[in-house]
């Protein structure tokens, strides 16, 4: 089911508008990440999709069906919360079957379906255990199976990985991807971890201060950030940023350009290609196979992740790979097409 917001705003009780005129369409059958810093509006959007919150203005559609005034139950969404919220006194199989019991599905049918779902999420060897006897990852698998038991129109996951340790997070994000692909259910999950979103989502909606900064594939979010905020939020190490004044001898900037962002991997050994910039190497370290080089450009530190073939203390030229160079105006909008190299 695709999910569409038209001019949706939300004001909480005390008159504080936290979502401002939001428009988007989430494609059917995709895994979509709502990404952004704390307070950006991720959970608010998730709760508006689920029907746990009602929009102050605007319209929400599931496919052709307008659901703006419908309750969570009427919308038929499946939800998995951060703490999984399994019923502690019920076995795994009963937890998974519970939504079908509520919907008065006959016993044999619901147990068959619950077993199928347990197999899908790979807890079929844990059916008689109680939640307290399961690991965090297993509890989450059960919570996902239970949310799928109603054949939901949309599956919503609120920070599904935040309670897991680092290794399990990686394992479970791959599992969420697999389960989503096997079921084909449009799935929206909230995260503030860019690497998590970048690894598994088909599309990412990046939010800040109640505004959508950009909706695109992980790759285009990285390669063509709509604005300075996106360029800073996506990517590790964080993009290098300097004032255009520092590079006026290298580029012809549009009048409105104020800052330039350079990805760490866009700083490469001088190769005869223009543009080139003059730097001093402050420090170069090799971590395993990865370089981390600290360069100084007129006293401003830049991080490079390639071997720039200069030694610490040495002054020399490095080339810029323009695919990792972004120019912004004062408001932070990206201006790239308008930039020329001298």
Ligand X SMILES: Nc1ncnc2c1ncn2[C@@H]1O[C@H](COP(=O)(O)OP(=O)(O)OP(=O)(O)O)[C@@H](O)[C@H]1O
Give me 289's structure tokens. Answer: 């196979």
191, 123, 199: which is closest to 161 by C-alpha? 191
Of 47 and 329, the one with the shorter C-beta distance to ligand X is 47
Of 42 and 141, the one with the shorter C-beta distance to ligand X is 42
Indicate which single residue of 18, 170, 284, 317 sits in contact with ligand X (rule: CB under 6 A).
Answer: 18
Site for ligand X in 275-314 (CB under 6 A): none
325, 307, 304: which is closest to 247 by C-alpha? 325
Q: Should residue 41 be labelled a site residue for ligand X when binding is judged by CB under 6 A?
A: yes
Q: Should residue 44 be labelled a site residue for ligand X when binding is judged by CB under 6 A?
A: yes
| 286: three-class secondary structure by DSSP | strand
Give me 97's structure tokens. Answer: 């079957």
- Window of 32-40, 85-93, 101-109, 142-150 that interacts with ligand X by CB under 6 A: 32-40
Indicate which single residue of 1, 22, 35, 42 sits in contact with ligand X (rule: CB under 6 A).
Answer: 42
136, 129, 95: which is closest to 114 by C-alpha? 95
Of 162 and 309, the one with the shorter C-beta distance to ligand X is 162
Biggest distance spanned by C-alpha atoms of the chain: 77
Q: Residue count at the site for ligand X (CB under 6 A)?
A: 12
Indicate which single residue of 17, 27, 39, 63 sits in contact with ligand X (rule: CB under 6 A).
Answer: 39
> To the nearest whole angstrom, how small is the minimum distance from the Cβ of residue 102 to ligand X?
27
Indicate which single residue of 1, 5, 32, 36 sits in contact with ligand X (rule: CB under 6 A).
Answer: 36
x/- track of binding to ligand X for residues 163-202 (CB under 6 A): -----------------------------x----------
Q: Distance between CA 57 and CA 48 in Å, rounded?
A: 11
Measured between alpha carbons, how far is residue 226 from residues 37, 155, 220, 222 in Å?
Answer: 17, 28, 9, 10
- Window of 11-19, 64-72, 165-173, 322-330 that interacts with ligand X by CB under 6 A: 11-19
Helices (H), the chain: 42-50, 72-75, 92-102, 107-120, 136-148, 166-183, 194-200, 218-223, 228-233
Q: Should residue 133 be labelled a site residue for ligand X when binding is judged by CB under 6 A?
A: no
Q: Distance between CA 46 and CA 79 in Å, rounded?
A: 10
Residues that bind ligand X (CB under 6 A): 12, 16, 18, 36, 38-44, 192
């Amino acid at each position: 089911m695709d999910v569409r917001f038209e001019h949706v705003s939300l004001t909480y009780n005390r008159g504080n508008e936290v979502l401002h005129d939001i428009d988007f369409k989430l494609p059917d059958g995709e895994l979509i990440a709502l990404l952004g810093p704390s307070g950006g509006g991720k959970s608010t959007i998730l709760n508006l999709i689920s029907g746990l919150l009602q929009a102050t203005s605007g319209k929400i559609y599931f496919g052709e069906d307008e659901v703006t005034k419908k309750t969570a139950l009427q919308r038929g969404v499946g939800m998995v919360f951060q703490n999984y919220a399994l019923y502690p006194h019920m076995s795994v199989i009963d937890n998974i079957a519970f939504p079908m019991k509520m919907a008065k599905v006959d016993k044999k049918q619901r147990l068959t379906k619950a077993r199928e779902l347990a197999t899908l999420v790979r807890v079929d060897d844990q059916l008689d255990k109680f939640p307290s006897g399961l690991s965090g990852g297993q509890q989450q698998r059960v919570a996902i199976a239970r949310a799928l038991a109603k054949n939901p129109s949309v599956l919503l996951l609120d920070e599904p990985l935040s309670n897991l340790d680092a290794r399990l997070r990686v394992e479970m994000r791959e599992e969420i991807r697999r389960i989503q692909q096997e079921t084909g259910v449009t799935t929206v999950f909230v995260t503030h971890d860019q690497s998590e979103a970048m690894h598994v989502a088909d599309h990412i909606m990046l939010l800040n201060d109640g505004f959508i900064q950009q909706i695109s594939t992980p790759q285009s979010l990285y390669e063509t950030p709509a604005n300075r905020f996106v360029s800073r939020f996506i990517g590790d190490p964080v993009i290098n940023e300097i004032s255009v004044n520092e590079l006026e001898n290298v580029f012809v900037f549009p009048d409105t350009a104020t800052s330039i962002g350079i990805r760490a991997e866009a700083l490469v050994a001088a190769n005869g290609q223009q543009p080139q910039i003059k730097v001093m190497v402050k420090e170069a370290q090799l971590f395993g196979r990865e370089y981390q080089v600290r360069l100084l450009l007129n006293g401003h530190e830049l991080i490079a992740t390639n071997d720039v073939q200069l030694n610490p203390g040495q002054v020399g030229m490095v080339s810029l790979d323009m695919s990792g160079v972004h120019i912004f105006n004062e408001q932070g909008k990206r201006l790239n097409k308008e930039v020329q190299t001298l």
